[in-house]
Structure 1
Amino acid sequence: MILVFSPRTGPTYTPLGLACLAALAQNQDDPLEVFDANLDLWQQICEQDQALGAMREFFQGPLDRFLNPVVYAAYSSLLPEARKKIDQLEQQARAYLQGSGLDSGLQALLQRQSARILGERGQSTVAFSAMYLDQLPFILAQAKYLLEEAHAGCRILIGGAAMSALSVPELLRAAPFVDAVVVGEGEVAFQALLDKQPLAGIPGCWYREQGVIRCAGEGSVPQNLAALRRPDFSLLAGAGYFNPVPVLPVYGCRGCKWRRCRFCTHNHSFGLYRERPPLLVVREMQALQERWGCRHFYFVDQYVDPLYLSALSDAILELKLGCRFQIMARTVAGYTPALLHKAAQAGCCWISWGVESGSQKLLSLMNKGTSPEIALRVLSDASAEGISNLVMMIFGAPGSDAACLEQTLAFLDRAWTNIDGMTASAFVLFDQTEFGSHPERYGLDVLGKNHILSVQGHPIHDLKLRFRREGEPGRSESPLAALEIEKLERFKAWLPELPFHGTLCCEHYLLYADALQTNHRPRTKQRPA
């Protein structure tokens, strides 16, 4: 059996999902293979272009040179060219799935990666891990090629978080070359697969039986995370990711402890909230440091609450682990100055805050459980400790109006000197969330489902819903989010430019945040002339 992580995502990410599943196969008679096809594609692109090869060499080169913003900017300016090449391959994959034939570029990629997947002896099962829906065109194109061109005769499965974000029956109806799709957390289902259980006996498995799509029932969620094996990065670490030093993902919790935001769809990927003992997590980080020399970790947890951050920091300080890490959090009062100081001492150098809005009206409608004033205090206290703050904002949310936008812009103006990075996302209405389940309560009119891909004319939709707001003219999708983001960009022109690292990918942001915290100097607010 082989686990495959397909394009497309960046070349810096080491797939945690593959490492978690690989750990289950450590004592199997038949060795499990792991193939990061996404990284393989990036490597190929860089090998075929001298300038992109130099870019890769820089990203993997000495850390001190990597941390020079001028040099970094020069090399990273080549990334759009690499992504353009991947864009072209994705369009070819979409055309191939629609029956338009194989373009030479895509054919060369699929042929080469099929040879790697099948090896000399072939594979009985090929399992694709889909973290993002952006991977789906490449996954399906590879699956189709394996069966129709390579005549591999293998069983093909797809799992991963992205499978909880689309219509699985649609996917199976559209893609007859896919045998099964597993929804939900993967450990229990993958163990059943390793034990050679039939598809009908695999929790969370959708499969095809004599032309009929069936479901084996809901996925089984591991309740005791401490009983799970440590993720096994042995087949991934050191594989040539585009980072100057090792940067690895780690998790302390699954699910969200808050779990009440009316817009959030992440709860479909995981079960209820569960924690791993913080000391267990830190010992895992210690083992990764000893084996791979990894000092930098980012937590993939949806929300590291104050109590868990405190216990995690205590464990790091107790073991004297020299590490640097990042978390995601909500701006609540529990992140006190004392806690943020302890976290910084333990190595926390970056927090991604789900701020969402500077309007209390919108925060209440979202059921976020936060307030703008507390958010301002928390951001200021974190910045005082040298912790880099990235704020995640949502525009065009239900209930938003001109006054709400002005309140958000005023909030950003007050918080700006304590912000290093910001994401400005357009509100997305997801099915099965509170907003999506009861749109009429929030002044929303659903227009239909969101089409992401077609295979031989058969559409596949995700959980996004196209919508308009009550009172908006016509039947087109609501333009409010785009209009608000446009006003935000005009407003930002009057604010000081955010630090260089605020726009970098996760792994690179973490490395810069580490360096900046080490040389922490308070920032001053200087408006453009």
Structure 2
Amino acid sequence: MDVLLSSDKIRNTCAEIENRLSTGKNTIGSGENHEEVYSRLNWAREVIERENMVQNVEWAKSTLKSKGFYEIDDYVECWKIIDRWLQAFGMLYYPSEISIADNSMRYSVYSSEDVIKAVNDKHENPYHSLFDEHIMDSLTNDGLDLLGISVTATSQVMPAFTLASLVKEKNRDIHITMGGSVFTKLIDNLQQNHLLFDLVDSFIVFEGEHALLGLIEQLNGKKDFSKVPNLVYKEGKRIRVNQPFHIEDINELPTPDYDGFPLDRYLSPRRVLPLQGSRGCYWRKCTFCNLHVDNLKFRLRNLDLVLEDIDRLKEKYSMEYMFFSDECMPVKQLDSVSSRLIAKKNNIKWMAGVRFDKGLTKDILSKAREAGCLKMVFGLESSNKRILSLMDKGIETEITKNIIDNCDKTGIAIHMYVIVGFPSETREEALETLDFVISNDKFLNSKGSSCLACLFELEKHAPILRDPGKYGLTKIGHPKHDDLSLGYFYETDGGMTPEESGEVYEYVRSEIDKRLPIFPYNFSMSDGLLYLDQQPP
């Protein structure tokens, strides 16, 4: 992002657009899309010139790193400027698109053949030139032996394999390993997929601390990769998966080390660092969710170590704001952490993901607020009793209402996720959840409230797949060429069809957005945390 937002990049992009337009309409693009490509490049040129992008992007960057960040009108305008610039830049690679929210190509991230095509498509893959011009020299000229690339979201798949391909072109001796939750969910797919091993030497699945250490030891020694835990690699013509999978003792792990991260380049006036107090989900029952796959069992980190982590991060990185990145913090842990932070007078502002657990009392919420908690993130998903039962959420709407009320009384902001289109859900049931959100004045009027509606997706490894008939699922499948599929298309014998769910989802999202503006709280959790504290630098 730092490179993309540089003045040199904007000027060079503008020159490239001018160069392409000067060659004439019929020489731009291919096939029947000459007119479309020419039109989009024209739009990009007009936007860059009209909005004086070089100066405006510089203003946006400096504003977001200063006290101007806290002026909401300026904050919104900064991100709109950056978004328009990214869209304009993306026109060089049409039909690929880039924005502050996402990046997309016409190639599918769920198909290894498409991944290979995207990696080799210099005309439509923006990462090819970006990495080649700005990253490759530093990676390949420093005697690098091992390159690790983490992929935690599908939006990172194309950039990751593009980088891997470029590195292999320069130096095939560099061992490239990829890790992250995406590949943990694709272990069985990787065993059948030889194409990706032309770009990558190995994959690390599940947890990576001991795996990465073991890989380094073998690269320095006998290269016996069978001894590296959690490794997927190719040996001759066979793809091997090292089992049993290693589960980390999180009490043996050190405090997170953020050295090497360009923390000062982030578009924020203050640092918000993530910290885990646990791994996995202690509930592990939600039928729609496959996050349990990432961690083979739930583990709590010793409370003394968590407090030690906080002290070290404060000292080393001047951390004032923190996000507990646990999937959901148990109530007892929340209570204990809060008590210890109060006793230490730590003066850290933080947020955490929790459940609408009946044990989350007003007293515990009050204690958390006194300890510096400014916001909690909840999965509401639905307020309909039947749907909640099918989801196996283990929450009750009356308890949820009570917790929302107590958060309001104690001064803790709330973010809620809702799901639209769970199999067999009717339009009326979906709108019941919408009404629960938009009719709760205390929630809507509380500072920092946010809510994100999500369209149900039938994800690989979700418990719902163990008994699809129970949920009225029929004709489950995915496109034949999608050998990296993380989900399925489906039909139902009751409730809304997937198409109807999509329409209702758009309506629910628009109704929520009318009442809860996207910026800043629904746009960025970390930015929202800073806004709740309102302490300019």
Q: Is the 8 A contact 1:140 1:175 kept in 2?
A: no
Q: Which residue does the alignment assign to 1:113?
A: 135
Q: Structure 1's 484 and 416: CA in aligned 2 closer, same or farther, altered over 3 A?
A: farther
Give the 5 Å matches for 1:452-491.
459-470=482-493, 478-489=498-509, 491=511
Q: CA offset at residue 169 of structure 1? A: 3.0
Structure 2 residue 59 is the aligned partner of structure 1 residue 54: yes
Higher deviation after alignment, 50-59 or 381-390: 50-59
SS of equivalent to 1:284: helix
User: Given the alignment, which residue of 457, 462, 477 partners 1:433?
Assistant: 462
Q: CA offset at residue 374 of structure 1? A: 0.9
User: Structure 1 CA distance, aligned partners of 2:3 and 2:491?
Assistant: 39
Aligned residues: 464
Q: CA offset at residue 70 of structure 1? A: 1.4
Q: Is the 8 A contact 2:127 2:159 kept in 1?
A: no
Q: Which has the bigger relative contact order, CA under 8 A and spacing at least 6?
A: 1
Q: Structure 1's 227 and 490: CA in aligned 2 closer, same or farther, altered over 3 A?
A: closer
Q: Which residue does the alignment assign to 1:279?
A: 304
User: Structure 1 CA distance, aligned partners of 2:8 and 2:302?
Assistant: 41
SS of equivalent to 1:195: helix
Q: Which residue does the alignment assign to 1:189?
A: 211
Q: Structure 1's 431 and 450: CA in aligned 2 closer, same or farther, altered over 3 A?
A: farther
Higher deviation after alignment, 425-434 or 357-366: 425-434
Q: Which runs of 5+ in 1 are unaligned?
A: 1-38, 452-457, 519-529
User: Given the alignment, which residue of 129, 144, 163 partners 1:142?
Assistant: 163
Question: What is the TM-score normalised by the length of structure 1?
Answer: 0.81
User: Given the alignment, which residue of 208, 212, 223 partners 2:234?
Assistant: 208
Q: Structure 1's 46 and 442: CA in aligned 2 closer, same or farther, altered over 3 A?
A: farther
User: Structure 1 CA distance, aligned partners of 2:256 and 2:59?
Assistant: 32
Structure number with higher helix proportion? 2
Structure 2 residue 131 is the aligned partner of structure 1 residue 102: no
Question: What is the TM-score normalised by the length of structure 2?
Answer: 0.80
Q: Which residue does the alignment assign to 1:73?
A: 76
SS of equivalent to 1:228: coil
**Larger Rg computed on CA atoms:** 2
Q: Is the 8 A contact 1:172 1:180 kept in 2?
A: no
Q: CA offset at residue 398 of structure 1? A: 2.0
Give the 5 Å matches for 1:92-491.
97-98=116-117, 101-103=121-123, 106-111=127-132, 112-121=134-143, 123-148=144-169, 150-166=170-186, 167-169=189-191, 172-196=194-218, 198-222=224-248, 224-236=249-261, 238-419=263-444, 420-449=449-478, 459-470=482-493, 478-489=498-509, 491=511
* Deviation readout 1:179-215 (Å, 9 max, x if unpaired): 1111101112112112225322212211111122111
Higher deviation after alignment, 52-61 or 417-426: 52-61
Letter matched to residue 350 of structure 2: F
Q: CA offset at residue 304 of structure 1? A: 0.8
Q: Is the 8 A contact 1:449 1:461 kept in 2?
A: no
Q: Structure 1's 185 and 450: CA in aligned 2 closer, same or farther, altered over 3 A?
A: farther
Q: Is the 8 A contact 2:478 2:488 kept in 1?
A: yes
Q: Which residue does the alignment assign to 2:21?
A: none
**CA RMSD of superposed structures (Å):** 2.7
User: Structure 2 CA distance, aligned partners of 1:353 and 1:46?
Assistant: 42
Q: Is the 8 A contact 1:428 1:464 kept in 2?
A: yes
* Deviation readout 1:246-290 (Å, 9 max, x if unpaired): 111111000001111111111111121101122321221122112
Letter matched to residue 324 of structure 1: K
Q: CA offset at residue 437 of structure 1? A: 2.7
Q: Is the 8 A contact 2:164 2:199 kept in 1?
A: yes
Q: CA offset at residue 471 of structure 1? A: 5.2
Q: CA offset at residue 83 of structure 1? A: 4.2
Q: Is the 8 A contact 2:423 2:495 kept in 1?
A: no
Q: Which runs of 5+ in 2 are unaligned?
A: 11-52, 91-95, 108-113
Higher deviation after alignment, 138-147 or 464-473: 464-473
* Deviation readout 1:379-426 (Å, 9 max, x if unpaired): 111122221111100000123113312421332234243141111000
User: Structure 2 CA distance, aligned partners of 1:344 and 1:282?
Assistant: 17
Q: Structure 1's 91 and 304: CA in aligned 2 closer, same or farther, altered over 3 A?
A: closer
SS of equivalent to 1:226: coil
User: Structure 1 CA distance, aligned partners of 2:377 and 2:211?
Assistant: 31
User: Structure 1 CA distance, aligned partners of 2:316 and 2:348?
Assistant: 14
Higher deviation after alignment, 305-314 or 188-197: 188-197
Q: Structure 1's 68 and 239: CA in aligned 2 closer, same or farther, altered over 3 A?
A: closer
SS of equivalent to 1:208: strand
Q: CA offset at residue 322 of structure 1? A: 0.5
Q: Structure 1's 93 and 442: CA in aligned 2 closer, same or farther, altered over 3 A?
A: closer
* Deviation readout 1:152-175 (Å, 9 max, x if unpaired): 421111011221233323554344
Q: Structure 1's 44 and 448: CA in aligned 2 closer, same or farther, altered over 3 A?
A: farther
